[in-house]
Amino acid sequence: MNFSLTAVSSAVLIALVSAQAQANTQTESEKQVDETLTVHAQSFDDYKVDSATGAMRSDATMLDTPQSVSVIPEIILDEQLATTLGEALQNDASINAGSKKWNREVFYSRGFELNTGTSYLRNGQTQWSHYMLPIETMERIEIIKGPSSLLYGQTTPGGLINMVSKRPTHKPMVNIGTDFDDLGSSRIHIDASGALNESGSIRGRTVLVKQDTIESRKYANGDNRERDRFLGYGIIEADLSDWGLASFHYERTQDKANIDSGAWLDSEGNPVGGKDAIHDMSWAYTDITVDNIGGDVEVYLGTDWTVKAAYNHQLYKRQRHDSSPRPTSDTINDGSYEIKPFDRLDDWQLRTFSLDLNGDVKLGNIEHKLLFGTNGRLYDYEQYRESGTTTPVVPGTEERDPGLDYRRDSTAYNSDNQFYGFYAQDLMTINDHWQVLIGGRYDLYYADNGDVSGGNDSQAFSPKVGVIFHPAYNGSIYANYSESFEPTSSQDDGNGNMLSFDPATAKQYEVGTKWELLDNSLLLTGAVFDITKNNILLNLGSSATPVWDQGASQHHKGAEATAQGQVSQNWFVMASGMYLDAEYENHATLNGKTPANVPEWTGSAWTRYAVTEATALNIGLFYQGERWADNNNTLKLDGYTRIDTGASHKVKSGATTWDFRFNIENLFDTEYIAGTGGSSSEGLYTDVHYGNERRLKLSVNATF
């Protein structure tokens, strides 16, 4: 890989040198004290997290993980009054936003779009993410970067998002709060936890949320877009004598919202009808119900080995009552367009399971942290649909609801697929300075595409190798090679025969460093990476006479750096920056072009300064450089910098702690585009989503 010395890599080099100098001045006894602090000093108010279980499926620390990983802790979500995954992921510069239509969010990691069916995990298991994922039940969000098929099977090259759920506490705790903004949006939540029996061997926790959201964008009849959400979560955890731990969880999300498929831009980047104009009809909506039910059991096999089994069944139903607006050849001239309404029911079911055996053994002078496991996913999908006729729309007017009902469709579309994977991983500690990671995975994938004959079965082997050098007790330098794969759907050859294709594959080379400074309260990380995705399927012919080819590829290389933790007694920070050079290669239509929504430079920072023990100030900065609105690179979006700020004050009254918070999002009312769908139609760029204008938020919480 060839990288010029950027500001990011310079900062990493300075941190590495200063950390080495600090390490060389400490005695062995001081090192032992600091190592103890690494385990015990972390508090709820700390931005720094010492491990990410999703990265290694074990208790390995950040310094013992040869991969770039960042973790967004619950304290930052609370300070930002975050209610969506997008509001949480903005804290990592390696993540970029895309489309937000149909009441869901699309993200890119290291420039690769994350897949809604394979790129999101809940406690290490695949989560179907075709909706606004609730974050009130999460204690942290782990961003695992780069190809990660070794432990999770089919994944996109950019990485994974692992959402770690809140677990019951031994001590009783109740938090009740509300927050609202200047547009009239409101949220009420309750979080209660504690022991359910006298000994504390059985514990429970429940989270309840009711949210009503109002947005500034308007429909032709003058109504604002609204969203109504309910979330209920419960978990029971029980000690199995002294030999195990079992838990059972249930979560339900009900989320109904008007459809806003985004603004439309002309060739100069100007919004058609204004940036707040919604082209969808006000009667269009999505109505989503999601249930997650499952449990896990962990058994302690002595002091060095554990076995853990987990299962989750996700049931997702969505009614999409859509007006489906689309531009015509006249839209650019007079603003007119058309709708093609339909009513549709999507029914997804996802069953996931995993079985892991973790253990530590010593063979000769080498310590082995071993992992053997299997996991899998069973996916079923069913759809009912009734479609209406195409209807022209005069700008500023609204067409009536045609009264379509999916229940009148008596023939369902069905599809299903399954994958099963088997993996082994060994983290070998050779001495105080050197560690080696080696692992491999074998996957079997079976697909049935329903109405088309023939599926596209495939299999894959995914290796991973890593080397870690510890020049000092508080730092590491690592290198890794990893792979990922994504099954490719079967396609029609033009004569009614289905053709099977090889999976899309990706390879990554990454070199990085991690340092814990200031008595292990601050974590600095840096990495350079080179990722190539191959076997991208293209149709070089037409829809009637297809000519299929898998010669296209995508090549992304870049550098990133993060700082997370406590800078001084009163100052906490989470900051990150990334440089990325991404382009398509050997591509019939996009060769040399950059994927949409992927800037060359990004950065983010969120800090807290404690003025007193009761009062704190926050400020955040979020930067996105210039990006292309579409994959064809015909319209470039301006870069932007958004500033957020906030303040909080705590008051203790007996056993109750009151927490008052006031936040201002987009302090200087910057106008910017947060993301697009990367597509265009009739000379217009559709599926374009503006960021929020200045928004005032107030919250009150009571904990007792």
- pLDDT interval class at 45 (50, 70, 90): low
Of the candidates 148, 258, 95, 100, the residue with the CA atom closest to the CA atom of residue 510: 148
pTM for the whole structure: 0.92
Range 586-589 contact pairs with CB under 8 angstroms and sequence separation of 24 or more: 586/551, 586/552, 586/553, 587/536, 587/538, 587/552, 587/553, 588/538, 588/540, 588/549, 588/552, 589/538, 589/632
For the chain, report the end-to-end CA distance as a whole number of angstroms: 54
Per-residue pLDDT of 464-497, as tens digits, reads: 999 999 999 999 999 999 999 999 888 888 888 8
Per-residue pLDDT of 298-319, as tens digits, reads: 999 999 999 999 999 999 999 9
- pLDDT interval class at 452 (50, 70, 90): very low
pLDDT of residue 38: 34
- Euclidean distance between CA atoms 489 and 382, whole angstroms: 17
- Euclidean distance between CA atoms 308 and 304, whole angstroms: 13
Per-residue pLDDT of 621-636, as tens digits, reads: 999 999 999 999 999 9
Q: Which tokens in the block code for residue 298?
A: 């962990």
3-state secondary structure of 242: coil
Q: Average pLDDT of the chain?
A: 92
Residues above pLDDT 70, as percent of the chain: 92
Planar angle of CA 474, 479, 480, nearest 5 degrees: 125
What are the strands of the beta sheet with 337-339, ordered from one edge? 325-327, 337-339, 391-393
Per-residue pLDDT of 273-296, as tens digits, reads: 999 999 999 999 999 999 999 999
